[in-house]
Amino acid sequence: MTLNIKSLGVLAAVFAMSGESLWAEPQHGIAMYGDPALPSDFTSLPYANADAPKGGKIIFGEKGGFDSMNPYILKGKAPWGVRAHTVESLLMRSYDEPFTLYGLLAESVETGPNREWVEFTLRKEAQFSDGSPVTVEDVLWSFETLGTQGHPRYQSAWQKIKTAEKTADRSVRFTFNVVDFEAPLIMGLRPILRKADWEGRVFEDSSLDVVTGSGPYVVSGFEPNRFIEFSRNPDYWGKDLAVNAGRHNADTLRYEYFRDGNVLFEAFKAGDTSWHREGNAGKWAELYDFPAVQRGDVVKSIVPHARPSGMKGFVFNTRKDKFADWRVRDALIHAFNYEFIVRNRNSVDAPRSSSYFSNSVLGMSHDAAQGAVLELLEPYRDQLIPGAIEGYSLPVSDGSEANRKNLRVAMKQLAAAGWTIQEGVLKNEAGEVFEIEVLLKVGGTVGGIETEGVFNIYADALKRLGINTRITLVDSAAYNERRKAYDFDMIYNFWYLSLSPGNEQTLYWGANGITTPGTRNYMGMNSPAAEAMVEKMLTADSAEHSVAATKALDRILTSGRYVVPLWYSEVSRLAHKKELNFPDRLPMYGDWSGFLPDVWWLEQ
């Protein structure tokens, strides 16, 4: 089935709405700009079916494995479902609005006139799965522990807190030491853990001890690297909340782990898993006519979305001297014959991520910067890489395998950067050979296509430039460890980017990530201009100012030529058992994490 969603034009209008929300009293929700779309007496989220039946089992197929049950630290790899199904935060997102949160563990949220502080009041009935109440002490402990001992993604927000204090039996206030209009929302999304769980334990140590959460599901069984199962808690404290109406419908959620995508797909065809996401449009057209589809036991659903494309591609590690010059990176981007590769590997054309926020109102234009965007970039003109202000677009080939025109440009750029072919090999003046090791995950794919196969075609073009390449394939655990430590020349990565970019952008692009392990600044970029744009986003007093700062950031990232961009899809292709159903009314974010399995149900 194919479903309709709000157009990007409507999205632009929604995102552009702004206004002063000077909180005079506690509210049921909070928006980044303006007011929440839903009134205080709403009965369900607009994209949830409040009458959805409960029961049944959904089986997911996952690639790779896990060796930890703590998803909040740098060590180990934990199942995604632990965070998604068992642990809650004070507020929760509505995926039908760019960035609006409604009360979950907290019954209300209140901020100062300039959001210099935020106060949450816990619900009386909020409790963990063992029946113990969620307390202010649990909240304060969780914030401090995550901010000082947790994964680096939690640290920057904690550093912005001046004071954290209990203001009543069920109320807690955080006062900030910086101007950051997003900070109250970030606080609302922090996971709340049970303090007593960690008595006598070192938080930073990876372990298989199950976290006691307050969410709708509990871990009912697991075997590392094989499966994990979650069972719906019949005593879940929040089952009657309006935000939960029509959500958490399956009795059991089970995640089965497979070594690679091909095995996973075969398991789905055999009926061993309940659904499968297909990123390759060609495979969707050619491979989804197996017997279960023909019988009608498996349904093919196309789900549109209005999310930014994000950026997926092969990332240059600029900590390596050979990638430090933007002209070298530009040459290697020219050598990537996108038009030929996408048709060869996808069977059909697919749109390319022309920037980090393309496919959305936040994306840059590719001509010269103007207006507010130009004003923001102008003070950094001398620091910016060519194209940030003047305009930049990715090179386009004629689609032939030779790609001669772009390879000629690549040779000129390499020569300008001091690299020339000597005795058939690309070398610099010191005689150093230009070699590239690309680190890839065994079974890794991009849009359903093996990354190894894509890079092999790329490697043939690089060889024509005198560049030797080698692919190092490692398992998921080794890949994650080397990626965290930035121990690679190139890797494949996907940065998911939302309609509400904010503090996480510092984790992605901040200079602290050059040396601090575990950030997502995999390219090792050091750009004061980019950090300034993130700061402008966080202190913007209107949606218009925030959008301008995001467009300026997009220009800096894209013209920086840190990634060889690959493709994205404006839709998600989901094949699933006919018993699985979802509402006709789709959220703005399409099938993102607030959709599957959140509002799905099974017909018994």
Residue 215 scores a pLDDT above 80: yes
In this prediction, residue 338 has a pLDDT band, given cuts at 50, 70 and 90, of very high
- For residue 174, the SS3 value is strand
**Cα–Cα distance, 62 to 264 (Å, whole number):** 7
pLDDT score of 152? 87
Say which range, 300-304, 312-316, 325-329, has the weakest mean pLDDT: 300-304
Residue 569 scores a pLDDT above 70: yes
Residue type, 363: G
Q: What is the mean pLDDT of residues 90-116?
A: 95
Percent of the chain's residues with pLDDT above 70:
95
Q: 575 with 557: CB under 8 angstroms?
A: no
Read off the pLDDT of residues 350-406 as tens digits, 9 standing for 90 and up. Answer: 889 999 999 888 999 999 999 999 999 999 999 999 999 999 999 999 999 999 999
**Cα–Cα distance, 8 to 357 (Å, whole number):** 13
Q: What is the mean pLDDT of residues 326-334?
A: 98
**Cα–Cα distance, 486 to 481 (Å, whole number):** 9
**Cα–Cα distance, 498 to 274 (Å, whole number):** 27
Rounded alpha-carbon distances, angstroms, from residue 36 to 40, 192, 338, 342: 9, 23, 42, 41
pLDDT score of 570? 86
Q: Are strands 161-168 and 171-176 parallel, antiparallel or unpaired?
A: antiparallel
Q: 493 with 313: CB under 8 angstroms?
A: yes
In this prediction, residue 348 has a pLDDT band, given cuts at 50, 70 and 90, of low
What is the pTM (predicted TM-score) of this model? 0.77
**Cα–Cα distance, 92 to 129 (Å, whole number):** 18
Q: What is the mean pLDDT of residues 507-522?
A: 95
Q: What is the mean pLDDT of residues 31-50?
A: 95
**Cα–Cα distance, 486 to 488 (Å, whole number):** 6
Residue 188 scores a pLDDT above 90: yes
pLDDT score of 347? 56
* Beta partners for residue 493, in sequence order: 313
Read off the pLDDT of residues 129-147 as tens digits, 9 standing for 90 and up. Answer: 999 999 999 999 999 999 9
The token pair that represents 252 in the structure block: 């059991």
* Beta partners for residue 158, in sequence order: none
